Amino acid sequence: MTASSPMGISRPQVKSLDEILPREPLLMMGAGPVPIPECVAKANSVVINHLGGAMAQVIHQVKAMARYVFQTESKWVLGVAGPASAAMEMAVSNLMQQGETILCVNNGFFSHRMAEMATRIGADVHELHVPVLEAADPELVRKAIEKVRPKVLTLVQGETSNTVFNHSLEEIAKIAKSYGCLVVVDAVCTLSTMPLKMDEWQIDVVITGGQKGLSSIPGVSLLVFSDDAWATVKSRTQPVAQWCFDAQLAENFWHKDGYHYTAPVSGIMALHEALKLVCDETLEQRFARHLRCSKALQAGVQGMGLNLFIPAESRLNSVVGITIPEGLTASDICRHISDVYRVEIAGSFGQPIVRIGQMGEQCREHNLFRTLHALGSTMRDLGVKVDQPNGMAEMESYLQSVPRIISQVA
């Protein structure tokens, strides 16, 4: 309905957020965004001058903390106002020029996205397609590099869409560097959940979003360029077509206390607090927490009688893929578990799976128990025979077998 207005355009009648949002909040256990800690939510309410001295201090600390999380000494940390795909586009559009060759290792929906972006800027795009249930094979990547001779190689550490883990990332990156390639890694669902050592593994650009492993809000993303990658950015012969994603313009804000566009102030504040929580916990303890919780969840899912989609050797721990039982669809499961048990899990992009996230705040024991119980109850409600008590017991048994690490802030 609309109300009449002397201005000619009728004034809309809208619902308040209180009327739209569920009265009982959903537990966000899908593939992202994830639950955020209270301090991150509080920081997201702060607005200050985006060009003032306080903001300069915040940016300085964000960059310092990012270097720890990315495991790099590179100066060239940049943020972007947008999702992780915006950081992805910043990387591709700044490294590539029209006609230059890029090789994209395609594990699925998201790893193909960088090929799509490169195509739009007129690059010579080649893809190495990896079978759905497998991780990228270093020797097949080597052969593709020898055939194509790309300027840039892109790949994901974890393919969120089908829950595959490229466990040979370090080896692949070093192979690519031996051929003179710039290596771009999508760590959107993996950064801070598992080891990634940008400098030691010879990676040139790492991309991530705030809303997954870092447990920050969607809409502010990070990427880091190596010195080699930054030299490529600075030696471009043509300007970047996307003004907002021009890394040399972004340098004004992120490294010169200057102006590019109005920065997403509140989102940067939230990201600052999220990164500080990672640093306080330490990467080692954070990796251990993520591994313990994900393995426990996987044990519980299998103990219930459900199947994990990816074989163990190539299985991603930060997003767990569960094969949909015959006769059901992802929407059947996701709708029921949300409506009845107030737990949000995710469908997929073309694969017969539902996905449960194990990133950041999702990896807490109380969230595991609520989620697994809701999943088992949903399956029973929808007519699938599962052994729910055994699944819960298997998860508890795994948790008891692996000691919990108690974080101690220095």
Residue 383 carries which side chain, given as an amino acid letter? G
**Token digits of residue 308:** 């994990």
**Token digits of residue 193:** 């959940």
DSSP code of residue 44: T
DSSP code of residue 315: B
DSSP structure string for 126-151? EEEEPPTTSPPPHHHHHHHHHHH--S
The values of phi and psi at residue 63, to 5°, are: -65, -40
Tell me how far apart the alpha carbons of residues 114 and 119 are, in angstroms, rounded to a whole number: 9
C-beta atoms surrounding 146 within 10 Å:
9
Which residue stretches of 75-137 are H helix? Answer: 84-95, 109-120
| DSSP 3-state of 369 | helix
CB 213 within 8 A of CB 92: no
The burial of 54, by beta-carbon neighbours within 10 Å (0-12 exposed, 13-18 middle, 19 or more buried), is given as: exposed
Note the Cα 183 to chain centre separation in Å.
Answer: 18
The beta strands (E) that lie in 333-381 are given as 343-344, 353-357
User: Could you tell me which residues are beta bridge partners of residue 127?
Assistant: 104
Tell me the helices (H) and strands (E) count for the chain, helix number first. Answer: 14, 15
Which H or E run includes 253?
helix 247-256
Q: Is 355 labelled a binding residue?
A: yes
Binding site residues for substrate, as ranges?
A: 355
Q: Could you list the residues known to form a binding site, using ranges.
A: 355
